């Protein structure tokens, strides 16, 4: 049966309106059951603690449990893929980490494309790395360190938490931008015993695990790697005060499977941005040197794209490949 044009247009408009109403309904009723936040790293670490903090906030605001599920392995890829394969209904989310941007070029054969397959929801915070040296290193400033490293090529051992980790690639970024050559020494267990004994001379560490050694005078902090100084270490200069345009940080945010309805993404984004101005949550983030990352899903998406591009250049420069 052939429909008259006017009747066809009315039916089409009605279908479109029904779709809009349906999407609004999704947002109004979301979440309709417990939500999983997948953390692609082990329990007890900084990412896990942050996810539980945000999960508790969302549980209280949205009336359903936000349950943290740890899925470590393969440099965060196992947990990330679990979210990529989940239904795009907002009930499975990913705690996005710096490793997601690094892994795009570090691993040759991922079963997903992070930028394509994960929808950015909201940034949470970013935290500086801090360049720490053993007291036996004579340099007390970044210019002195660069001069010392150039005078002693490949004699400084740079520890990291493993090949391709943030603590590794930030050191390679420094090699690239400062024009020095440090030897990378990856660790599978704690590197601090060797750093404290002087077997390795430096690390680009995170503030949370480093600050007590700095305060005790056991390690010397030369610079933080964010664009602005850290409130947790206000007397320590930024790297870019000596190496123009240098910037690196540990960042965290929330992502969802692609095709998650925009209304659900926006609802989550609104609640996370509300959390970032809450005094208790801000105070918790500041304890680890964190700075909040408010903004829209598009703002967080731009950060992810920019970080992926940056670390791809570093990986190419340093020849970093998965072991």
Report the CATH number at residue 60: 3.40.190.150
Kindly state whether residues 121 and 134 are assigned to the same domain. no
Please give the model's pTM, rounded to 2 decimal places.
Answer: 0.87
More confident residue, 105 or 95: 95
Cα distance between residue 69 and residue 59, in whole Å: 15
What is the pLDDT confidence band of residue 24, given thresholds at 50, 70 and 90?
A: low
Mean pLDDT confidence for 42-52: 91
Kindly state whether residues 135 and 229 are assigned to the same domain. yes
Kindly state whether residues 119 and 138 are assigned to the same domain. no
pLDDT at 177: 97
Kindly state whether residues 89 and 233 are assigned to the same domain. no
**Mean pLDDT estimate for the chain:** 91
Kindly state whether residues 279 and 146 are assigned to the same domain. no
Mean pLDDT confidence for 172-192: 94
What is the pLDDT confidence band of residue 320, given thresholds at 50, 70 and 90?
A: confident
Nearest to 40 by CA among 90, 98, 91, 115: 98
Kindly state whether residues 120 and 267 are assigned to the same domain. yes
Q: Tell whether the model's pLDDT for residue 87 goes beyond 50.
A: yes
What is the pLDDT confidence band of residue 20, given thresholds at 50, 70 and 90?
A: very low
Is residue 212 one of the residues assigned to a domain? yes
Kindly state whether residues 80 and 49 are assigned to the same domain. yes
Out of 223, 241, 259, a domain closes at: 241
Is residue 183 one of the residues assigned to a domain? yes
Mean pLDDT confidence for 103-113: 87
pLDDT at 16: 54
Is residue 199 one of the residues assigned to a domain? yes
Is residue 67 one of the residues assigned to a domain? yes
Please list the residues that pair with 218 across neighbouring strands. none
Q: Are 38 and 83 in contact (CB under 8 A)?
A: yes
How many domains are contained in the chain? 2
pLDDT at 21: 47
Is residue 21 one of the residues assigned to a domain? no
Helix (H, G, I), strand (E, B) or coil at 310: helix
Cα distance between residue 170 and residue 102, in whole Å: 11
What is the pLDDT confidence band of residue 7, given thresholds at 50, 70 and 90?
A: low
Angle between helices 262-275 and 5-29 (to 10 degrees): 30
Measured torsion, CA atoms of residues 40, 23, 276, 255, in degrees rounded to the nearest 10: 20
Q: Which residue blocks in the chain are alpha helix, DSSP H?
A: 5-29, 46-62, 77-84, 98-106, 114-117, 142-151, 166-178, 192-197, 207-215, 262-275, 279-287, 297-318
Angle between helices 98-106 and 166-178 (to 10 degrees): 70
Q: Tell whether the model's pLDDT for residue 145 goes beyond 90.
A: yes
Q: Tell whether the model's pLDDT for residue 74 goes beyond 90.
A: no
Kindly state whether residues 122 and 161 are assigned to the same domain. no
Out of 184, 214, 241, a domain closes at: 241
**Residue 172 Cα to chain centre, angstroms:** 18
Q: Tell whether the model's pLDDT for residue 6 goes beyond 80.
A: no
Cα distance between residue 77 and residue 84, in whole Å: 10
- Cβ neighbours of 246 (radius 10 Å): 21
Is residue 1 one of the residues assigned to a domain? no
Is residue 178 one of the residues assigned to a domain? yes
Per the structure, the complete domain to which residue 292 belongs is given by 33-127+249-318
Q: Which residues contact 303 (CB under 8 A, 6 or more apart)?
A: 123, 251, 253, 293
Kindly state whether residues 180 and 50 are assigned to the same domain. no
Kindly state whether residues 147 and 180 are assigned to the same domain. yes
Cα-based angle 118, 108, 178 (whole degrees, multiple of 5):
90
Nearest to 47 by CA among 288, 304, 312: 288
* CATH code for the domain in which residue 200 is found: 3.40.190.10
Kindly state whether residues 139 and 117 are assigned to the same domain. no
Is residue 6 one of the residues assigned to a domain? no
What is the pLDDT confidence band of residue 10, given thresholds at 50, 70 and 90?
A: low
Nearest to 71 by CA among 62, 87, 61, 82: 82
**Residue 250 Cα to chain centre, angstroms:** 5
Kindly state whether residues 225 and 314 are assigned to the same domain. no
Out of 241, 273, 296, a domain closes at: 241
What is the pLDDT confidence band of residue 5, given thresholds at 50, 70 and 90?
A: low
What is the pLDDT confidence band of residue 287, given thresholds at 50, 70 and 90?
A: confident
């Amino acid at each position: 049966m052939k429909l008259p044009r006017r009747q066809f247009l009315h039916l089409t408009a009605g279908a479109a309106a029904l779709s809009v109403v349906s999407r609004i309904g999704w947002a109004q009723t979301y979440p309709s059951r417990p939500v999983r936040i997948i953390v692609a790293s082990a329990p007890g670490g900084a990412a896990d603690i942050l996810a539980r903090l945000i999960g508790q906030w969302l549980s209280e605001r949205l009336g359903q449990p936000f349950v943290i599920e740890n899925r470590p392995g393969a440099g965060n890829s196992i947990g990330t893929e679990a979210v990529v394969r989940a239904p795009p209904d907002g009930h499975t989310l990913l705690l996005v980490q710096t490793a997601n941007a690094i892994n795009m070029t570090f691993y040759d054969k991922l079963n997903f494309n992070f930028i394509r397959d994960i929808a950015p929801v909201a940034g949470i915070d970013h935290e500086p790395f801090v360049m720490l040296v053993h007291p036996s290193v004579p340099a007390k400033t970044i210019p002195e360190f660069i001069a010392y490293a150039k005078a002693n090529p490949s004699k400084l051992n740079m520890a990291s938490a493993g090949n391709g980790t943030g603590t590794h690639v930030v050191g390679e970024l420094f090699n690239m931008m400062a024009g020095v050559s440090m030897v990378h020494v990856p660790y599978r267990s704690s590197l601090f015993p060797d750093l404290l004994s002087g077997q390795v001379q430096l690390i680009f560490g995170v503030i949370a695990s480093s600050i007590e050694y700095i305060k005790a005078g056991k390690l010397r902090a030369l610079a933080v790697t964010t664009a602005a100084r850290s409130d947790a270490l206000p007397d320590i200069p930024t790297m870019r005060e000596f190496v123009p345009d240098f910037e690196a940080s540990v960042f965290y945010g929330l992502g969802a499977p692609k095709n998650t309805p925009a209304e659900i993404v926006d609802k989550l984004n609104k609640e996370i941005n509300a959390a970032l101005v809450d005094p208790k949550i801000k105070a918790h983030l500041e304890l680890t040197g964190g700075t909040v990352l408010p903004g829209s899903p598009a703002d967080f998406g731009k950060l992810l794209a920019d970080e992926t591009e940056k670390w791809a250049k570093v990986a190419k420069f340093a020849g970093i490949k998965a072991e």
